[in-house]
Amino acid sequence: MATRMPSPAELYGLKPLYKVSELPGILPFSRSRVYELVRAGRIRTVTEHSIRLVPASAIIEYIELLEREAEAA
């Protein structure tokens, strides 16, 4: 049987989904800055029953975006 490779989110110990209000505990930003990033589309979200959620993959994507921007600067 083949072993499954862990996802980047699993490697970082992230849950599959987060409420936007939980992100300040994960990312080094204030609550208002997190909401600005979500509104600007820099952090991807999904909606389920009118609850806006952030997939763990979106957190990884945002970190990778910051790394690419730093390399380009």
How would you label 9-44 residue by residue, b for 16+ Cβ within 10 Å and e otherwise? beeeebeebbebeebeeebeeeeeebbebbeeeebe
pLDDT for 5: 73
- Where do the domains of the chain lie? 9-72
Strand partners, 19: 53
In angstroms, the CA 73 to CA 71 distance is 6
For the question of whether the overall pTM of this predicted structure is more than 0.85, the answer is: no
The answer to whether the CB of 43 falls within 8 A of the CB of 62 is: yes
Per residue in 4-43, pLDDT (tens digit) is 776 767 777 889 999 999 999 999 999 999 999 999 999 9
Residue 3, classed as helix, strand or coil, is coil
